[in-house]
Amino acid sequence: MSGREAIRGFAVQTLICLLDSLWTDTTWSAVTLEPDSDNDKVDIRWEYADGSSCAQQVKSSKNQIGKAEVAAWCKELKESDPPADKYQLLLAGPIAATVQSEAPFDGVEIPTPTSMDTLALLDQAITKVDRYLTAKSIEPLPLTLRESLIYELVARLLQAAIHGRRMTKEEFDGWLLTGVTASYPHAVSQRLTANCAVLWSVLDLAGPVVASDRAFELVLPLTVVNGGSSTAVVEMFLLRVWSPTREMRYRPNLVLPDLPGQPHAKRRQLGRPFGDFAIAPQSSVEQAVLFVPVHGPTYQADEWPRGDYEAELFVKYVAQPAICSVKRVTITIRMDEFSVLTSGETRSIAVSNMDKYLNLL
């Protein structure tokens, strides 16, 4: 084999590994290019989330690959050490009809052959990386950025292959996300929104510090859940409350301590100013946030009339250019609710859309 053919064969092997890495319906946990093996016949070794493994050998040729060659390669691969749960011979180039019709050989699978054209394989990878990122709730990327990401991944895989280094899926995803974040940060905004959920089920009405203001203060126990693989930062919450006759805006003022049985004034006194907070990957943060009315020429900030109101909560993430809606609910203010203006206590209202869904049954 000439030096040019050897380089091309190694490039094909690397691109096949990259293409398999980008499948969105597999649960691989680690991959090793050119792993150490007794007979040096394993080119790619995959490890999966269920603890199983797959050993692959890649063979490419511009000439037709015959059955006898394939059978011999399969026998050698099956005898490789350490053993694997599954074996595959990956072929690139033209093959004899009997190869596919009589496979597998020695229990070694023969998947559909791929092209030897490295440019065609690169084009496939450029297409698949967009699907892979879309499955992770990242917006579609410009073609030039996808090309840059693929070339960077190929270079990293080649470097790992030189040392036979094991690469985890977390590391692979980290390369991708770092490249996306550095080159096109707008793409991760949708991902943050998709991976973070704000849970809100109760609204507590409280009286204002200055009794003459007569406008309710609102305490919202909020839980922010981050199901993604990177830290999310909440910059602010905003609350819009309105009826057919008035419009109100509420902003976060304090984070109240969890003091069961203590009056609202005590919790308010011990509260800390609201500010940015981070939610680590696969974790949640709970906060009881005190909202106060915003004074402005177009917003009311006085006593609420009795009746039904719409309330909509919004969240703003640091990495996201705009606020997004968390939940919209209907609440009813009756005469009983006004007791909080003088009692110093709070009164809870459940914010649930259950009635709306019950009406759909």
Q: Indicate the domain borders of the chain.
A: 3-184, 193-358
**Of 219, 228, 345, 351, which Cα lies nearest the Cα of 289?**
219
Tokens of 79: 């005898």
CA distance linking residue 171 with residue 174, whole number of Å: 5
157: how many CB neighbours lie within 10 A of its CB? 22
The tens digit of pLDDT for each residue in 142-199 reads 787 788 888 888 888 888 888 888 888 888 887 777 777 666 655 555 555 557 889 9
CA distance linking residue 122 with residue 117, whole number of Å: 9
Greatest pairwise CA separation for the chain in angstroms:
94
Tokens of 111: 């998947």
Distances (CA, A) of 207 to 216, 240, 311: 5, 18, 18
**Of 22, 81, 28, which Cα lies nearest the Cα of 50?**
28
Tell me phi and psi for residue 203, to 5 degrees: -125, 120
Q: Does domain 193-358 have CATH number 2.60.40.10?
A: yes
Confidence label for 1 from pLDDT (cuts 50, 70 and 90): very low
CA distance linking residue 141 with residue 129, whole number of Å: 9
* CA-angle at 236, arms to 209 and 224, nearest 5°: 105
Mean pLDDT of all residues in 326-334: 92
95: burial class by Cβ within 10 Å (0-12, 13-18, 19+)?
buried
CA distance linking residue 233 with residue 212, whole number of Å: 37
CA distance linking residue 192 with residue 227, whole number of Å: 9
CATH topology assigned to domain 3-184:
Trna Endonuclease; Chain: A, domain 1 (3.40.1350)
Reply yes or no on whether the pLDDT at 108 is more than 70. yes
DSSP secondary structure of 122-156: HHHHHHHHHHHHHHTT-PPPPHHHHHHHHHHHHHH
Mean pLDDT of all residues in 328-348: 91
**Of 274, 288, 272, 270, which Cα lies nearest the Cα of 348?**
288
CA distance linking residue 275 with residue 236, whole number of Å: 7
pLDDT of residue 59: 87
CA distance linking residue 126 with residue 149, whole number of Å: 8
Structure-model confidence comparison of residues 57 and 261, the more confident one: 57
The tens digit of pLDDT for each residue in 245-299 reads 999 999 999 999 988 878 888 999 999 999 999 998 889 999 999 999 998 888 8
CA distance linking residue 276 with residue 266, whole number of Å: 24
Tell me the pTM.
0.51
